[in-house]
Amino acid sequence: MGDTADVVIPANKGKRQAVAAQATAAKTEEIKYIAKTKTTEALILRALEGNPLFEDLVTELGDLGLGAFSDLTTSLIGSMTKMEVAAGGKIIEEGAHSGDKFYVVEKGSCAIKKKEKEVGTLQAGFGFGELALLYNCPRNATVEATEACILWVLDQAVYNALKRTHAEKLLKEKMELVDSVPSFKVITGEHRAQLADSLEPMTFQENEFIVREGEVGDRFYIVQVGEVAVETAGMELVRLVAGAFFGERALINDDVRQADVRVVSHMCTCLTLNRQAFLDLLGPMEQAWRWDCLRQVTLLAPLTDSQITSLSDGLKPVEFAADQVIFEKGSTGDCLFILESGALQVFDGTVDANELATISKRGAFFGEMALLNSEPRMATVVCKEKAKCLELSREVLEGTVGNLASLRLAWQEDTLRRVPLLSKLTADQRTKLAKGLMIKSFNDGEYVIRQGDQGSSFFILERGQVEVKDGQQTLKTLDPGAYFGELALLKNDVRAMNIVCKGSATVAEVTRDEFVALLGPLQTILDEQMESYDSVGQKIEIKSLTELEQKAVLGMGAFGKVLLVGHDSKFYALKCFVKQQILAVGLQNHLMQERNIMMDCNSHFLVNLVGTFQDDDQLYMIMETVMGGELFTHLQNSPNMRVPELAAKFYAACTVMAFEYLHDRHYCHRDLKPENLLIDNDGYLKLADFGFAKKLKNGEKTYTTCGTPDYMAPELLTQQGHTGAVDWWALGILIYEMTTGTTPFYADDEIQRFKLIQKGKIMFPSYISTQCRDLIKKLCVINPAKRLGMLKGGVSDIKKHPWFKGIDFEALEKRLVTPPFSPPLQGPADTCCFDEYELDSEHPGAGHVGRIRLPSMGVFKSF
């Protein structure tokens, strides 16, 4: 039977609401622990067993094989508070939105009621309400005490804080173990973090052999718990305890084991990684090092991670003898060099001239300007001793990623477009300004801007990181693509903060005088209120709802609604949020995050923001109209609620392009589903709804559970911390739903769905092609570090998958591919592709508002 099975499509499938946990968890140092008897602790533990939310706790206890609780289990049980309820008292009420607690009955009994009808009972030792620990959602039943009860209560904020602390502690321990391995020191911290995330635990019993002498091995081990003996011919050579490692050569080549390794403690847990997993993740160790070297080259800063991966494959090894001249000052060059071994001398002219520097650090690069143009070399480089280098030629670079100067210019133009003060520049003006930027390099600790100085320059950070400091206090760290100092283009600007380099950094700079020479005074440009903007990313300024003519309701979300509005003979989508509703559910930070991310993005595969405003009661986002309706509606109207694989490929490819754009800017979306994919007038897909999107640095994780349950990756539910890998899991679910009419882990019961997601076993109907099955399986891998899209090839691995054969992604980006469906629109305000709503309809979240008006504490000030 394999992975083939009949698929049941749920009848009357409705739109799915997104869910989220409270954005803020409790502070671990403020959690109070309540003493309990051993009997009570054992009763609570039995209530946790078999519950998927607590599966990792039970597994942890089983692995220990001891009569003690794990640290996390002890903390969770210890933090539970006592609650006493009289007979007839309601513990939770059906439909209540305030559910954020899990309960365990210690004494007494309770009735479970749905629509006032009793459907079950709960006795001592039973737990209930566990979904409220994951995310805020309406209670689906009433639980009422039938006699006096004693219960123990676990709060969502406490659960989240303890789970996060535990996950961060485990990751830190893994990182420390990986950092201790000398072989891994040649790769960056980011890649070591990926390795740490990929390590999987294996448990061995006393006297069990982990490796045998003479065998060919392909697995590397780090001892996490327990003790092992290294033996040869029955003679013990050494004992290894927690933190020790063995078998690292197996990651590089076939490793004939030189000794036996046997468990000598009661049990032993090792963190392991096999060679194939290592190669899938980073490629050979040398290739990972090459990637890291290229990422440090200032001129290559605009390239994406996937492009750097492609370039690393084109590096050519070259060797030079002692005293050999690599290139001379004044000669024409066409390649960059990276030093692998040896030492080089840099002279200002001939070898008899003044020595400028010595290059001896492995990974140092030189000659990079030759990648841009054929200008003469600025110095002479000679081998001080025999040296090995890697060479990247301009021909290889342009054949792989295109003309570097053009790529860099495009990257700078995109950054300029995101600067609100420069949003009124035309495309031609942005290009002219980008060409006028001057490149400057700074060393660790150097000031780019000093607090209190008169400023006259605007900066874009191209490479490295800088810290924003108020005096000596660090407020935040900026990454490549960030900009600062823009007010200096408008007026004499007294710098409000220090900008200090964290490591070496490169910036692109333009002064106010240079700006005026290129484009004229900025204030004049602002005053002119130009009419000509780009078709994507045009901005409008609205100050009041009365300036807009409300035409229709386009959609309803959990916490807002979208209107079709008119302004100056153009049409826009207006997303409206009631401030009190947002404050009531604690999503104010999410909403501000959504606004800031949309202001930062501009793509044909995203629904683009064109303006924001607010009044006393509501917040408004003005977006471009996308009138072809939701992909969800298109699927609903298709036979069996699915589309042919050819159409699914097109829609999936558009989604890949949207995620590639976001991930290149270090954003993860976290709420993909057909309801959030809109079909534009030409039939192309655009990704919408950035309410749960989040910016993450390389190697960083976030812990808030959010999204739509059908599309949630396992790591979102287990709260082990997640990255942009959750988007690639969701892509797999989307492809499955588009081709089958349902989701692979669908279940009427939420806990059952949770269990299915954790297992990750997908069954396919017989009509799904082999290539489609393979792609979905590789996207929906339980371990996020091994998921397609997260491996060394990045998004290119997805684009090159056989299922996408026939999709020209370059043509897709230029909108040259014919979509499988064209919306039957009669004009720009035709709403035929959307559900009908009354203009004054309330959205589902409207019930969250209480009678007491909540203070906003100025959180919406910058909206």
The residues annotated as belonging to the active site are 671
- Bridge partners of residue 263, in order along the sequence: 228
Do residues 446 and 498 make contact, with C-beta atoms less than 8 angstroms apart? no
The answer to whether 543 and 612 are in contact (CB under 8 A) is no
CB 794 within 8 A of CB 311: no
Separation between Cα atoms, residue 471 and residue 475, nearest integer Å: 10
State in Å, rounded, how far the first CA of the chain is from the last one. 55
Numbered residues of the known binding site for ATP: 554-562, 575
Contacts of 259 (CB under 8 A, 6+ apart): 211, 213, 230, 231, 232, 237
Distance CA 725, CA 714 (A): 11
What's the rounded Cα separation, in Å, for the pair 35 and 829? Answer: 64
How far apart CA 819 and CA 714 sit, in angstroms, is 33
Query: Is the alpha carbon torsion for 107, 109, 114, 120 positive or negative?
Result: positive
The tokens describing 8, both together, are 């049941």
Sheet holding 267-274, edge to edge: 200-205, 267-274, 219-225, 245-246
Length of the chain equals 863
How far apart are alpha carbons 418 and 420 in whole angstroms?
6
What span, in angstroms and rounded, lies between the C-alpha atoms of 379 and 388? 20
Match 């605009």 to its residue by tokens: 302
Number of other residues whose CB lies within 10 A of the CB of residue 358: 12
Paired residues of 623 in beta bridges: 573, 609
Quickly tell me which residue has 């035929």 as its tokens. Answer: 832
Contact 705, 134 (CB under 8 A): yes
What is the rounded distance in angstroms from the CA atom of residue 97 to the CA atom of residue 93?
9
Question: How far is residue 113 CA from its own chain's centroid?
Answer: 40
Task: Give the CA dihedral 428, 429, 435, 438, nearest 10 degrees.
Answer: -170
Quickly tell me which residue has 């299922």 as its tokens. 803
Ramachandran bin of 464, using left for φ above 0, alpha for ψ from -120 to 50, beta for the remaining angles: left
What are the helix and strand counts (H, E) for the chain?
A: 24, 45
Query: Residue 53 contacts by C-beta under 8 Å, 6 or more apart in sequence?
Result: 102, 130, 133, 134, 717, 754
State the residue for tokens 């989040």: 694
Residue 826 CB burial class (10 angstroms; 0-12, 13-18, ≥19): exposed
| E strand or H helix at 122 | strand 117-122
As a whole number of angstroms, the longest Cα–Cα distance in the chain is 98
Task: Tell me the DSSP string of 406-429.
Answer: HHHHHHHHHHHHT-GGGTT--HHH
Three-state DSSP at 695 gives strand
Determine the Cα–Cα distance for residues 648 and 71; give it in Å rounded to an integer. Answer: 46
The answer for residues whose C-beta is within 8 angstroms of residue 680's C-beta and 6 or more apart is: 626, 627, 628, 686
Give the three-class secondary structure for 337.
strand
Which of left, alpha, beta for 641 (phi over 0: left; psi -120 to 50: alpha)? left
Instruction: Please return the burial class of 105, using the count of CB atoms within 10 Å of its CB with bins 0-12, 13-18 and 19+.
Output: buried
Q: Between the CA of residue 698 and those of 62, 292, 310, 702, 745, what are the distances in Å?
A: 34, 13, 19, 12, 30
